[in-house]
Amino acid sequence: MHRTQTKYPHDKFEVVLRKDDAGSAEWRIKCVDCPGKLYKPGPGEALSNFEVHLKNRQHRQRVDARVGKLYP
């Protein structure tokens, strides 16, 4: 299991291969809870750019709502 998945066990994301019009392909990360956006993993093979999204308040609220986590 990747370190990011261990740190955020309730978060669901997929790695997808995105091709542009020129035929080039790049890996992107798709958040299951926040549809409609693809995120660059970088730098390198790290997920540090995507981790910024995982900490986002709206993302956290969506994940909490999905898993039934309630706050006072």
* Residues sharing a CB contact under 8 Å with residue 56, sequence separation 6 or more, in sequence order: none
Distance, CA of 55 to CA of 53 (rounded, Å): 5
pLDDT (tens digit, 9 = 90+) per residue, 13-62? 998 998 888 888 988 899 999 988 888 877 776 677 788 899 999 999 99
Q: Would you state the pLDDT for residue 71?
A: 57
Query: Per-residue confidence at 11, pLDDT binned at 50, 70, 90?
Result: very high
Q: What is the pTM assigned to this prediction?
A: 0.75
